[in-house]
Chain A
């Protein structure tokens, strides 16, 4: 049975934990709003990019001169997995679920005898994957420590790494792992293959795509647009991730705050019971002492 003083100390410590989680929840809520706005703002660009690109790509899918970024290298034995996670923890299962999704594919690809390399974006994913797959890591992992707001510059940094190694012929397939923001309560890990590009092709003859003139010619334009498209996709993944992270943290901290509240109630009850028990036993002692004197 803990003493009254011990209980008091525990109640106070749980109370201050509750204050912290409550504060973190509110900070996450504010950051979530900003992250959602950023994701929203990036949509028009991405949408237009996709439209233009799919128009051009439709006519060029089977063109032998089309860039490798679109057609692929004709092989699929060397994979690069770009795992995007957060820099910080305390956000529920956010990082773990992305890592779990990636791990599933890593094991499957290794089982198929493919050559797998991992590039982690974000500290948390790196820490979790390091235990098992340290030997698969590429040199110089990317982390955005201290970056408050993901900007296009960060996406470019990742994209130039990825494109650079693809241009050198190090990989055949490059896949992006991130968490898609569905709502504050649900974030689902996603795998997106960026190279060779997965572009929805429009039906031939549908729309006005054939009416466009291209300057310079289609192939040159495609060669310029594809890398940009990859940067945009990475940017989108990073923004989705940022929103998901804050959403997950908000939910996790809300739960933590509630649990702390329950704990405080339980401990307070226990504290009061034992205080009462102590008073009762003191009273009994006094009464029986008095009776002994009278008798």
Chain B
């Protein structure tokens, strides 16, 4: 039985979770992975998607819009630009920003276009994730 580790989920605006957990499932940019206590120290960027924090029978799920995670011997810190409890988020919340991002794609130069495209696809993934479960 693996021990627990400290999990901190923070967004720029607040600390969303700071709990002990057995394992965390993360959407890494190079593929999803699960971190448990004693995981190799790693710093990775995250794709938009959901994070699942599991502690015994308790399980919480968060929606994030990308970010990065730092796994170290003492625990794991997840830094997300936007994060919300899965239950609190609805696809409608992002629909308007998705449409705005889509509109913003038109008439942009290449650097800005890359950034806007990234934004757009991030939002799209989030809306789809939410849509699937609903």
In the complex, chain B residues whose CB is within 8 Å of the CB of A155: 12
Query: Which of B10, B42, B70, B73 is most buried by chain A, counting CB atoms within 10 A of its CB?
Result: B10
* B125 on interface, CB distance cutoff 8 Å: no
* B4 on interface, CB distance cutoff 8 Å: no
Check B43 against A52 for contact (C-beta < 8 Å): yes
Assuming the contacts A48-B70, A164-B111, asked whether A215 and B44 have C-beta atoms less than 8 A apart, the reply is yes
Interfacial residues of chain B within 20-49, with CB under 8 A of chain A in the complex: 28-30, 40-45
Check B30 against A228 for contact (C-beta < 8 Å): no
Interfacial residues of chain B within 58-74, with CB under 8 A of chain A in the complex: 68, 70, 72-73
Q: Number of B interface residues, CB 8 Å?
A: 28
Question: B91-130, CB under 8 A of A: which get 1 and which 0?
Answer: 0000000000000000001011001000000000000000
Q: Which residue of B lies closest to A163 (CB)?
A: B115
Check A224 against B45 for contact (C-beta < 8 Å): yes
Check A216 against B43 for contact (C-beta < 8 Å): no
Q: Which residue of B lies closest to A48 (CB)?
A: B77
Check A215 against B79 for contact (C-beta < 8 Å): no
In the complex, chain A residues whose CB is within 8 Å of the CB of B88: none
A216–chain B nearest beta-carbon distance, Å:
6
Question: A143-185, CB under 8 A of B: which get 1 and which 0?
Answer: 0000000011001000010011001100000000000000000
In the complex, chain B residues whose CB is within 8 Å of the CB of A221: 43-45, 68
* B11 on interface, CB distance cutoff 8 Å: yes
* A42 on interface, CB distance cutoff 8 Å: yes
* A284 on interface, CB distance cutoff 8 Å: no
Check B13 against A215 for contact (C-beta < 8 Å): no
* A41 on interface, CB distance cutoff 8 Å: yes
Check A214 against B73 for contact (C-beta < 8 Å): no
Check A214 against B79 for contact (C-beta < 8 Å): no
Q: Which residue of B lies closest to A152 (CB)?
A: B12
Q: CA–CA, A59 to B6, complex, Å?
A: 27
Assuming the contacts A212-B42, A213-B40, A224-B68, asked whether A41 and B111 have C-beta atoms less than 8 A apart, the reply is no
The total number of A-B Cβ pairs within 8 Å is 84
Partner of A232 from the list B12, B41, B43, B109 (CB cut-off 8 Å) is: B12
Check A212 against B73 for contact (C-beta < 8 Å): no
A282–chain B nearest beta-carbon distance, Å:
70
Assuming the contacts A44-B8, A164-B112, A215-B28, asked whether A52 and B68 have C-beta atoms less than 8 A apart, the reply is yes
Q: CA–CA, A275 to B10, complex, Å?
A: 67
A213–chain B nearest beta-carbon distance, Å:
4
* A225 on interface, CB distance cutoff 8 Å: yes
Q: Which residue of A lies closest to B40 (CB)?
A: A213
Q: CA–CA, A212 to B70, complex, Å?
A: 9
27 inter-chain pairs at a CB distance below 8 angstroms, sorted by A residue, are A38-B13, A42-B12, A42-B14, A45-B79, A48-B70, A48-B77, A52-B43, A52-B68, A52-B70, A55-B43, A152-B11, A152-B12, A152-B81, A167-B111, A168-B109, A212-B41, A212-B70, A213-B40, A213-B43, A215-B30, A215-B42, A215-B44, A215-B45, A220-B45, A221-B44, A228-B81, A231-B12
The 8 A-B residue pairs with the shortest CB-CB distance in the complex, in nearest-first order = A215-B44, A167-B111, A213-B42, A41-B14, A152-B12, A45-B10, A212-B41, A45-B12
Residues on A lying within 8 angstroms of B by beta carbon are: 38, 41-42, 44-46, 48-49, 51-52, 55-56, 151-152, 155, 160, 163-164, 167-168, 208, 211-216, 220-221, 224-225, 228, 231-232, 235
Residues on B lying within 8 angstroms of A by beta carbon are: 8, 10-15, 28-30, 40-45, 68, 70, 72-73, 77, 79, 81-82, 109, 111-112, 115
Known: A214-B43, A221-B44. 13 other contacts (CB 8 A): A42-B14, A44-B15, A45-B11, A48-B77, A52-B43, A55-B43, A160-B115, A164-B115, A167-B111, A212-B42, A214-B42, A221-B68, A225-B68
